[in-house]
Amino acid sequence: MQHMTSLRPHTTRALTLGALLLAGAVGTAHAQDSDTRPAPASIGADIPATYFGPAPSQTQKELVGPLQLLRSGTVDQEKGTITLPLYRGQMRDGRNVWYVLTDTTDRGNADALGLNYSAKLTYGNVGRAARNATLGRDGTLTFASGTVSFAPEHVLTPGAAPNFFPPRAFKAGAVGDANYSPLVRIENAGGHIYNAPVVAFGNSAGELTRFCRGNVDHRLVHDKVVSICPEGKSGGTVTLQLTPGFSFSKPVLYLSLDASDELPAAMENVTLAPGMKDLPVGGDDGVFSAVERLFAAVNGPTGKQNPQRQGFNSALGDAGVPGPLNVLGGIPTVATDYSPMWDLNVYEWTPTAIQAGYRSRMIEEFQILGMAQRGFITGPGGARFGSTGFVVNCPIVLRFL
C-alpha cells in the first residue's frame, strides 16, 4: 500500500535509462530511493553509458524495459510523477466531476487513448463496484451516482516502535459517498467499463486554475495531485504522484488512487471508495474475477539504508522512505490477467523465519507464495495467509525492466 509517498512537481523528461530515478517520502519528507532503481548497463563495463543502444522493449514490449504501460500521460521518472489528461464530467444535478482515465475493457479504445487494457474489469460490474454514466453529444459523461469530498484531514499516526504498524490513529483524507467507486460503466456506449478515479469534485475551472503551477490545496483535490490545470492548449492536465513497487521481479511505478476501506485509504493517502467493497475477493486467478493480488509485508526488514528494506513497519518508522515497496501480481506484457483492482494480501514473517535469517525483500508473487507454503510467512498475527478483504485501485504506469 503505497500511501505516504510525497513526490514533487512535474517536468517533462524522456524515458531513458539515465533517468531511472525514484523519489519519494513518508509524510512531507524527501528522499531519493536508490534501492529499487536499476543500475545502468555501464556498471562494470569499459565503455560509457552513452554507447548503449535503446532498451529492447522499444523493439518488443515483452523484452527488457524500461517500458511505459499507461501511455496517455507523460512520466517524469526523476520526480516520480505522471501528467495525465484531465476530464470534466458532471452529476445529474450539474456539479462538476474532474477525473482521469487509466484502464478500460475496450481494447480498441485502450490502444487509441494509451490506456491500460483490462479484460477482468468486465466482471467488476457488480453491485456498487461500477457506477453508471451516460455519454453526451458533447463528449462529456454524466454520472448517475457517486460523490467525493476531499475536505477531511488525512490522519496517520504510527504505532509504538518497533511495531509501527498498525497505526495508532488513521483517517482517510478523502471520502466518497456510499455509492462511489472509480469504476464507471458507460451505459450508452457499448457498456464498457472504465477506471475513472475522481481527482476533484464540485469545483469550477476557475477555482482549480490557481493550482496549475502546484501549491495545491488538498482540501479541494485528491491528495496525490501535485498540480492540476483545467485549461490549456491541448486541454486540461493533472500531475499525480506515483508509487514504487515490484511485479515479477521487475521494479515498477504505479498510481494509487482509491481504497475500499478506511485503513488502506489512510495508509495509501487515497480516496475511501465504499463502492469497491462489492468487488468479490479471494479468487484473483479464478474465472470471472475482477481483481488481481497485491502483496504487502507487515514486518519486513527495516532501516532507511538497508537494501532489503520493505514493509509497513519500515514505511511508517523509517523517515524519508518511499513507502513499503509492495509486490503486484500480473501486469500487461508480463501476464494476461491484469486488473487495476488489487486484492490486498498482507503477510507477516514468523519468528522462526526471522531467527533463521530468512526475512528479506520479496519482489515477485511466487516467491511470496512459496514462503507462505513453507510456513515462513503468515497473515498478520499468525492468521491464515490470504486476502484481507481490502481492495485498492492502483493502475500500473511503468516497468523499469
Strands annotated E in 136-182? 141-143, 148-149, 155-157, 169-171, 174-176
List, for residues 261-273, the tens digit of each pLDDT value.
999 999 999 999 9
List, for residues 219-260, the tens digit of each pLDDT value.
999 999 999 999 865 579 999 999 999 999 999 999 999 999
Of 26-30, 96-100, 171-175, which range is least confident?
Answer: 26-30
- If one counts every other C-beta atom within 10 angstroms of the C-beta of residue 228, the result is 25
Residue among 124, 144, 125, 126 at smallest CA distance from 134: 144
pLDDT at 59: 86
Where do we find the cell 484531465? 86
pLDDT at 27: 35
Residue 329 lies in a domain: yes
Residue 328 lies in a domain: yes
Domain range enclosing 317: 17-399
List, for residues 371-381, the tens digit of each pLDDT value.
999 999 999 99
Inform me whether the pLDDT recorded for 60 exceeds 70. yes
Residue 3 lies in a domain: no
How much is the pTM?
0.89
pLDDT at 41: 80
Q: What is the chain's mean pLDDT, rounded?
A: 90
Residue 6 lies in a domain: no
Q: What does the CA dihedral 390, 394, 396, 401 come to, rounded to 10 degrees?
A: -60
Cβ 119 vs Cβ 339: under 8 Å: no
pLDDT at 34: 61
Inform me whether the pLDDT recorded for 22 exceeds 70. no
**pLDDT higher for 258 or 63?**
258
**pLDDT higher for 3 or 168?**
168
Residue 246 lies in a domain: yes
Residue 9 lies in a domain: no
List, for residues 183-202, the tens digit of each pLDDT value.
999 999 999 999 999 999 99
pLDDT at 50: 76
Inform me whether the pLDDT recorded for 125 exceeds 60. yes
Query: How many domains does the chain fold into?
Result: 1
Residue among 278, 268, 157, 150 at smallest CA distance from 219: 150
- CA 265/CA 112 separation, integer angstroms: 32
List, for residues 140-183, the tens digit of each pLDDT value.
999 999 999 999 999 999 999 999 999 999 999 999 999 999 99
Residue 5 lies in a domain: no
